[in-house]
Amino acid sequence: MRISRLALFSALTLTGLASASVAFASNKNGPTDGEIGLQRAVTPVMESITNFNNYWLVPIMVIITLLVTVLMVVILIRFRASKTPNPSKTTHNTMLEIVWTLVPVIILMAMAVPSMKLLYYQDVIPEADLVVKVTGNTWNWEYSYPDHENVDPYISNIVDIPNDEKFGLSHAQIIAKIEARPASEPRLNGRPYLLASDAALVVPVDTVVKVLVTSNNNLHAFAVPQFGIKIDAIPGRINETWFKVNAGEEGQTFYGQCSEICGVNHSFMPIEIMVVSKAKFADWVANDGAFSAKYSQNNSGVVKTATAK
């Protein structure tokens, strides 16, 4: 019985180590059901975060886990009751106390160097090519482009159905109802449910974008995992962050969510960012924030702007 328990313990440990290695294997765009690793990096900041996780945190965790596992196996075998009917009464060992105090300190000091470099890299904003302002509301986002006065601010709401129509419906049924709407109304069109919006934030590829983040009411947080950004939206204060989407990502859409509990509809504040080529972004700006004349009177960026919930 003891051997079977030991085998189970070892199997669980190896499973955990295998799961940790998944962080290296992610090569998909956006969140994926069942995935435990980081999302695919598409900005220099997120690439740095991913490298720090994969080449510092994961190896350290694996080494510590293996060390503890080996020690536990040795203890279970060497000091089992059948072999040591009279257990040791040792209660103190000065050398062990020194080792397990100094080793964690050394590990933390070693990790502090790349950690501080990464934090500094995230915090210091390079000279920006574009400035966008993001304002959190209850419960949606407002986007504006201070550098382009002809592009009016617009509201971005979740693509969903009213809460009173959801009772008893599965996600698949809710999605089917959304997709059954007329073409003039916002639909998912293959985008993930609860992450799609009716008006995406439009940015050009390979461009340093400075993001000014604030709130009109309560606390929110603007977070996009694949960009490696997460910053609080605080009433009466403007916080700053930045990103630069790597070349080759034009035409892609990336998603995030409000990551600060802000009220009853906190989970219904998706962030959708559409990355386009620099030429297409210039055309979008020239057309007053629309990709076609059809929507230029709405200034919604992508589709007709819905009213705030």
| Residue 245 within a domain | yes
- CA distances in angstroms from 76 to 90, 227, 261, listed in the order given: 17, 46, 45
Q: What is the pLDDT of residues 110-137, one digit of tens each?
A: 999 999 999 999 999 999 999 999 999 9
Q: How confident is the model at residue 280 (pLDDT cuts 50, 70, 90)?
A: very high
Same domain, 285 and 162: yes
CATH number at residue 207: 2.60.40.420
Task: Kindly state whether residue 109 falls inside one of the protein's structural domains.
Answer: no
Together in a domain, 235 and 163: yes
Q: Are residues 169 and 26 in the same domain?
A: no
For the chain, the 3-state helix, strand and coil shares in percent, each to the nearest 5, are: 40, 20, 45
Confidence category of residue 10, pLDDT binned at 50, 70, 90: low
Q: Which helix (H) or strand (E) holds 220?
A: strand 220-224
How much is the average pLDDT of 200-206? 96
Place of tokens 């900041």: 45
Q: Are residues 179 and 269 in the same domain?
A: yes
CB atoms within 10 A of CB 176: 11
Decide if 192 is inside a domain: yes
Does residue 207 share a domain with residue 266?
A: yes
Q: Are residues 58 and 145 in the same domain?
A: no
| Domain co-membership, 167 together with 268 | yes
Q: Give alpha helix (H) positions in 21-81.
A: 44-52, 58-78
Closest by CA position to 255, among listed 233, 269, 272, 278: 272
Among 82, 99, 120, the domain boundary falls at 82
Task: Give yes or no for residue 12 having a pLDDT over 80.
Answer: no
Are residue 279 and residue 148 in the same domain, yes or no?
yes
Element (H, E) at 155: strand 154-156
pLDDT given for residue 1 in this prediction: 43
Residue 135 lies in a domain: yes
- Confirm whether 124 is domain-assigned: no
**Where is the domain boundary, 54, 82, 110?**
82
Question: Residue 286 falls within a domain, yes or no?
Answer: yes
| Final residue in a domain of this structure, among 43, 59, 82 | 82
**Structural domain for 45, as ranges:** 2-82
Indicate if 150 and 269 belong to the same structural domain: yes
Q: Is the pTM of this model over 0.85?
A: no
Which of these ranges, 20-34, 184-198, 269-283, has the smallest mean pLDDT? 20-34
Q: What percent of the chain has pLDDT over 70?
A: 85
The number of folded domains in the chain is 2
User: Is 189 domain-assigned?
Assistant: yes
- For residue 100, being part of any structural domain is answered with no
Q: Are residue 51 and residue 147 in the same domain, yes or no?
A: no
pLDDT in tens, 49-95: 999 999 999 999 999 999 999 999 998 888 888 887 887 777 888 89
- Report d(CA 55, CA 42) in Å as an integer: 18
